[in-house]
Amino acid sequence: MIDLHTHSLFSDGVLVPSELARRAESAGLTGIGITDHGDSSNIDFIVPRIVAVACDLSRFMNIKVIPGIELTHVPPLLIEECARRARNLGARIIIVHGETIAEPVAPGTNRAAIDAGVNILAHPGLISMEEVIMAKEKGILLEITARKGHSLTNGHVAKLAAEAGAKLVINTDTHEPSDLISRDQALKIVLGAGLTEADFNLMQQNASAFL
């Protein structure tokens, strides 16, 4: 099981990266992305620290830790600039906090993230087919999420992605220890979105590219 979307206390998570990685390792995960919430105010603070700790942890643990950032409630016209800054600082996963129906995310965020060529569009809500096709063409992963609230549109995302042939990934958006899930639970979430075990295996293959 690989989970590319988690948060430490560098944003609104409750664990230091080392404990987050250890708990994920103990739960049987082989890879984890630490992708704390960021915008233009804190990218320069978060990314170098996650890069440094990811390097240390990956050397001494049986889990691969991938440094990243989740650009969150960033105005759409700033997303490309923020993504570029994060990459230049060493982030290997650029996630954008998509247009979930659980929060007042600015309209146009999904499209701006796709235009910017980020890696993952998290919980993209009622994403349009046009945007799904664009994500497919750019190789951007659309997220099926275990996070309550955000998960309400998993079925919509899964349906459009299946029709368009867009790539998906299953993530937890972990903020605290109880958010981490096993492979079996992740599979159930994928099945609950109307997909298959074969789809789940493809999601894990998509995630493994970051390892």
The three-point CA angle 52-147-92 to 5° equals: 25
Which CATH fold would you assign to the domain 2-208?
Answer: TIM Barrel (3.20.20)
Give the pLDDT of residue 35.
98
Residues of the chain predicted below pLDDT 50 = none
Give the pLDDT of residue 143.
99
- How many beta carbons lie within 10 A of that of residue 52, not counting itself? 13
Distance CA 122, CA 98 (A): 5
Length of the chain: 211
Amino acid of residue 3: D
The three-point CA angle 24-27-48 to 5° equals: 5
Give the pLDDT of residue 29.
97
Give the pLDDT of residue 138.
98
Q: What is the pLDDT of residues 157-169, one digit of tens each?
A: 999 999 999 999 9
Task: State both tokens at 21.
Answer: 């990685």
Give the pLDDT of residue 135.
98
Half-sphere exposure of 174 (CA within 13 A, CB side): 29
Give the pLDDT of residue 22.
98
Task: State both tokens at 197.
Answer: 């075990």
Give the pLDDT of residue 175.
98
Give the pLDDT of residue 11.
97
Strands (E), 55-188: 64-71, 93-97, 120-122, 141-145, 168-171
Say if residues 171 and 3 touch (Cβ distance below 8 Å).
yes
Task: State both tokens at 78.
Answer: 């700033």
Give the pLDDT of residue 112.
98
Q: What are phi and psi of 125, to 5 degrees?
A: 60, -135
Give the pLDDT of residue 6.
98
> Would you kindly state where each structural domain of the chain is located, as residue ranges?
2-208
Give the pLDDT of residue 21.
98
Give the pLDDT of residue 160.
98
| Secondary structure class of 186 (helix, strand, coil) | helix
Q: Residue 147: name the closest of 34, 5, 2, 1 by CA.
A: 5
Give the pLDDT of residue 80.
98
Distance CA 33, CA 151 (A): 19
Amino acid of residue 151: S
- Residue whose structure tokens are 């701006």: 112
